Structure 1
Amino acid sequence: MKCLNNRAESHLTGQVESEVDGTANGGWVNHGYRGSPPPLPRAVSTIYSPRPHFQGSSDGAYKLDAPRNPEEPSSSSSSSSDQLITKKRRGCCSFVKGLWGTAWTENTVNNREKFVRTTLRELLVYVLFLVDVCLLTYGMTSSSTYYFTKAMTNLFVTTADESGVTFQSIGTMEDFWTYVHGPLLDGLYWTRWYNNQSLDRGDQSFIYYENMLLGVPRMRQIKIKNNSCQVHQDFKNEIIGCFDVYNDKKEDDLSFGLVNGTAWTYHTEKDIKGSSYWGLLTTYSGGGYYQDLNRTKEDSANILTDLMDNLWLDRGTRVVFIDFSVYNANINMFCVIRLVVEFPATGGAIPSYQIRTVKLIRYITTWDYFILGCELVFCVFILYYVVEEILELQIHKFSYFKSIWNILDILVILLAIVAIIFNVFRTVKVDNLLGKLLEQPEIYADFEFLAFWQTQYNNMNAVNLFFAWIKIFKYISFNKTMTQLSSTLARCAKDILGFAIMFFIVFFAYAQLGYLIFGMEVESFSTFVKCIFTQFRIILGDFDYDAIDRANRVLGPIYFVTYVFFVFFVLLNMFLAIINDTYSEVKEELSSQKDELQITDIIKQSYMRAFTRLKLKKEKISDVQKALQSGSGEIEFKDFRETLKEMGHADHEISAAFSQFDRDGNQILDADEQERMKMELEEKRDALNAELNNLGKNYEEKVLEKSPAAPNEPKTSSSRTFVDREQFLRLTRQVLQMENCVAGITSKIELIMEKLELHENSKRIVTNVDSDKSSSDRVDRTKAGRSSRKPADCPDAM
Structure 2
Amino acid sequence: MILSVLQNIFISQPVKVVFLTLLSSLMLNRMPWLHKEKEQQTKRILALWAKCSSSLPGSRDKNNPIYVAPAMNSPVKRLERPLKDKQLFKLTGDIVVQILFLILLVTVAYSAQNSSRFYLHQAIQKSFSHGFSEIKLLEHFYPWANRTLLPNLYGDYSGFITDGNSFLLGNVLLRQIRIPGAILFPPGVSPQEQVRPSHQDQEDKENYGVNWGPPETNITKSDSMWHYQNQETLGGYPIQGEFATYSGGGYVVRLGRNSSTANRVLQHLEQSRWLDRCTRSLFVEFVVFNANVNLFCVVTLILESNNMGAFFTSVRLDTLRSLQTSKKDFAWSVVSQVIYYLLVCYYAFMQGRRLKQHRWRFFTRKRNILDMSIILISFVVLGLDMKLIALHKKNMAQYRYDRDSLTCCSDGASLTTELFSAQQ
Output the TM-score relative to the length of structure 1: 0.41
Work out the CA distance in 1 between the residues paired with 2:70 and 2:296.
Answer: 75
CA distance in 2, matches of 1:262, 1:16: 104
1:703-751 C-alpha deviation (Å, 9 max, x unpaired) = xxxxxxxxxxxxxxxxxxxxxxxxxxxxxxxxxxxxxxxxxxxxxxxxx
Q: 1:256 and 2:211 equivalent? A: no
Amino acid corresponding to residue 142 of structure 1 in structure 2: N
**Contact kept? 2:319, 2:414, Cα under 8 Å:** no
Counterpart-to-counterpart distance in 1, 2:91 and 2:71 = 32
Letter in 1 for 2:423: N
Percent identity of paired positions between Structure 1 and Structure 2:
23
Per-residue CA deviations over 1:230-258 (Å, capped at 9, x if unaligned) read x8xxxx89659978367697221223351
Is it true that 1:217 corresponds to 2:172 in the alignment? Answer: yes
Find the partner of 1:427 among 371, 380, 389: 389
Which AA in structure 2 matches 1:223?
R
Alignment CA distance shift 1:137-1:227 (3 Å):
same
> Residue 343 of structure 1: CA displacement?
1.7
User: Relative contact order: is structure 1 or structure 2 higher (C-alpha 8 Å, sep ≥ 6)?
Assistant: 2
> Structure 2: which 5+ residue stretches go unaligned?
1-54, 60-67
Cα 1:135–1:9 shift into 2, 3 Å: closer
Aligned to 1:451: 413
Q: In 1, are the aligned partners of 2:227 and 2:251 still within 8 Å (CA)?
A: yes
Amino acid at match of 1:405: R
Asked if residue 380 in structure 1 is aligned to residue 326 in structure 2, the reply is: no
1:335–1:356 contact (8 Å) kept in structure 2 = yes
Superimposed CA distance per residue, residues 352-374 of structure 1 (whole angstroms, 9 cap, x where no aligned partner): 01112231425434123211111
Question: Is the CA contact 1:167–1:179 (under 8 Å) kept in the aligned structure 2?
Answer: yes
Aligned to 2:227: 265
Whole-angstrom distance in 2 between the partners of 1:140 and 1:248: 44
**SS, match of residue 232 in structure 2:** coil
Aligned mates of 2:385, 2:170 — CA distance in 1: 25
The CA distance in 2 between the partners of 1:401 and 1:134, in whole Å, is: 27
Paired amino acid for 2:142: W
1:285 pairs with 2:250:
no
CA distance in structure 2 between the partners assigned to 1:310 and 1:18 by the alignment: 107
Name the aligned partner's letter for residue 118 of structure 1. K
Q: Deviations over 1:539-594 (max 9, x none)?
A: xxxxxxxxxxxxxxxxxxxxxxxxxxxxxxxxxxxxxxxxxxxxxxxxxxxxxxxx
| Greater per-residue strand proportion | 2
Q: Which residue does the alignment assign to 2:15? A: none
In the TM superposition, what whole-angstrom CA distance separates every residue of 1:674-726 from its partner, at most 9, and x where no partner exists? xxxxxxxxxxxxxxxxxxxxxxxxxxxxxxxxxxxxxxxxxxxxxxxxxxxxx
Q: Distance in 1 between matches of 2:246 and 2:71?
A: 83
1:244 is paired with a residue whose SS is coil
Residues in 2 aligned to 1:220 and 1:134: alpha-carbon distance in whole angstroms: 40
Query: Residues 120 and 361 from structure 1, CA distance in 2 versus in 1: closer, same or farther, beyond 3 angstroms?
Result: same
- In the aligned structure 2, how far is the partner of 1:349 from the partner of 1:396? 61
**Number of the residue aligned with 2:14:** none
Compared CA separation, residues 15 and 332, structure 1 to 2 (3 A): farther
The residue that corresponds to 1:625 in the other structure is none
The match for 2:332 is 370
Match of 2:141 among 161, 176, 181: 176
SS state of the match for residue 227, structure 1? helix
Other structure's SS at 1:326 match: strand
Using the alignment, how far apart are the partners of 1:245 and 1:303 within structure 2? 34
User: Structure 2 CA distance, aligned partners of 1:224 and 1:359?
Assistant: 36
Instruction: Point out the structure with max Rg over C-alpha.
Output: 1
State the TM-score, normalizing by the size of structure 2: 0.75
Is the 1:243–1:316 Cα contact (8 Å) retained in structure 2? no
- Which position in structure 1 is the counterpart of 2:293? 331
List gaps (5 residues or longer) in structure 1: 1-6, 28-35, 40-110, 160-165, 193-198, 463-798
How many pairs does the alignment contain?
A: 350
- The reply to whether residue 128 of structure 1 matches residue 100 of structure 2 is yes
Coordinate RMSD, CA, aligned: 3.0
> Which residue does the alignment assign to 1:309?
271
Higher helix share: 1
Residue in 2 aligned with 1:204? 159
1:419-454 deviations in Å (ceiling 9; x for gaps): 112222222321232122123211111111111111
1:451 and 1:8 map into 2 onto residues whose CA distance is 75
Cα distance between partner residues in 1 of 2:240 and 2:268: 29
d(CA) in 1 for partners of 2:182, 2:190 = 9
Q: Does 1:186 align with 2:138?
A: no
**Residues 346, 112 of structure 1: CA spacing in aligned structure 2 closer, same or farther, 3 A cutoff?**
farther
**Offset of residue 112 of structure 1:** 7.0
Question: Displacement of 1:38 after TM fit?
Answer: 5.2
